[in-house]
Amino acid sequence: MILRNLNKQFSIFLVLTFSLLVLFPSNSIYAQEDNLLKSNTDIASTDRIVIAFVISFLVVVLIVFVARAVLKRGDKKASFLDILRDRDWYPSLAILQFFAWTMVIIFAFFGVYLIRVFHGISEPPTEIPLSLLALMGISVAVPVVSGGVSSIKYKTTDSKKVKETGKGARFSSMLQEKGKPTLTRFQMFGWTWIGIVIYLIILFSNVSDTANNGNFEELILPDIDPTLVVLMGMSQGAYLGGKIVTKQEIEITGIFPSNQKANASIVITGSNFGNTQGFVRFGDNVISAGKINSWDNSKIEVTIPVGTPSGKHQVQVGVEGTLTDEKEYETT
């Protein structure tokens, strides 16, 4: 089935390519038949521009479908949208904006190239505006930096388990920081799409102006306003800053020994407890600061409260208003 889909998609691509070659000959043919191009039978310049953008859009869609089919061939549970997740399978806003701009630039570049070809210019546009390069550089750098920050700030997930069950975090979580929607993420999300819309408007406007003056040799990828680049850069900087200043998650990794009786000491191991004592919740009892035997960033020693009944209890550590997930512990 997958191979059949690939063959079908490839056939569509071949048909489009063949149509391109038949309807719009090479530069040398245009040069030899200049009078024919100027005749009444020539396809209008506007029609060629529309066809160029339609083909460019279809090629982008085809690329996505082929990539999706290849992923499905390797793993039937794979989803193309998982490309927007980081290595811990969390949806990444930074990767989303990188992906969106990649698709837009592919569409714009190939569309401009086809327009040039359709008007007798076989060379692709060789000049890439500096502001556009700066924007793409930011789009590349932010996911890399964001991934590095996430690997330090947040605990990793069991990637194998997530892949097998397909139960990764929802895509809505890319607008959230530790479960809470944040302005920095919303700002980056908003400026990404505003920037894309403005860039496409500039692209179509430039092509329209070129069609009016007929100077298609000068048609290249349009530049993007430096002010917009600055605004988008600031939004992405705020996004990274928001990730950096977010408190690291505190986590209990173990409790030793594996079971104890009331009034005996236990050691709670974990990460990011800090060096200032918080509190430990043991079942229905709270062991407050001052009653804790010892406390450091990765280890806490406490005494199980007197009168704690035997059985299973939930243990949590609290630091500055933040609680760890519950960890089960059994007393004898």
d(CA 270, CA 300): 8
Residue 247 confidence (pLDDT): 62
Token readout for 266 is 């236990």
pLDDT exceeds 80 at position 17: no
Split at pLDDT 50, 70, 90, the class of 159 is very low
Q: What's the rounded mean pLDDT across residues 14-34?
A: 43
| Entry pTM | 0.63
pLDDT value of position 251: 83
Digit-coded pLDDT (tens) for 176-235: 876 678 888 888 888 889 989 999 999 999 999 988 888 888 888 988 888 888 888 888
Domains of the chain, first to last: 2-245 (no CATH), 251-331 (2.60.40.10)
pLDDT tens, 86-97? Answer: 777 778 888 888
Kindly write down the DSSP assignment for every residue of 65-126, as one continuous string: HHHHHHHHHH-TT--GGGGGB-TTS-B-HHHHHHHHHHHHHHHHHHHHHHHHHHTT--SPP-
Q: Would the pLDDT of 326 be above 60?
A: yes
13 vs 55, more confident: 55
What are the pLDDT digits (tens) for 57-81? 999 999 999 988 888 886 777 778 8
